[in-house]
Copies of this chain bind each other. A is one copy, B any other.
Amino acid sequence: MPRPSVRDRLLAAGLETLRTQGFNGCGVQDITAAAGVPKGSFYNHFDSKEALGAAVVDQYMRVSDERLAPLQDTSLTPLRRLRVYFAAQVDMLVETKFECGCLLANFAAELADHSPLIRERVAASFAAWARRIEDVLREAQAAGEVAGDVSPDMLATFMLGAWEGAVLRARVEKARAPLDGFLWLAFDRSLSQGTPACTR
């Protein structure tokens, strides 16, 4: 295997450092130190920490992509696939003691007002993620698992928002209850059993 390029090492270290420290919680030097490259080499590859931050959003989406595999598992019903996918994310968050959370949500909270470059990259990544969920919801509608008269786009956005909010709450509570509540209300109760969460 070829040795990773300096750029690849900066990207990997940037992802790790920005996820754990936050964008404003670290400097370029923390990232070059984590990458094991001279500080001066940073600007050969990225114009600014902001430019690295934007590239890190894409890198995060690439490394997260494999986690979406359950959504392709056609041995399960569409809705079951979604539940398996989110339940695996819950397990991962519990294993990592709720640390770091979701880079998209963290950058949204920290940078939406300060970096149009990163804000747009985060928006595009959220939209791509929502589309993956929307596709499965559309299948679930075709299979009769989900009401057919709700926009799957709107439902995917709502579901992703409910997930991100549950992750934030779990992180401050250091407890899985908000995540289990999400799974139960989004899937076991509302979606799967025909007995909605909030309706008589």
Contact = CB atoms under 8 A, between A and B. Distances in A.
Instruction: Report copies per complex.
Output: 2
A68 interface: no
A89 interface: no
Given A186-B198, A198-B150, A173 B123 contact: yes
Contacts of A185: 150, 154-155, 158
Size category, A interface:
35 or more
A113 B165 CA distance: 16
Contact of A22 (B24, B154, B168, B171): B24
A110 B108 contact: no
A101 B110 contact: no
A146 interface: yes
Nearest to A150: B197
Interface string A136-167: 00000000111110100011011011111110
B172 A157 contact: no
Contact of A162 (B154, B162, B196): B162
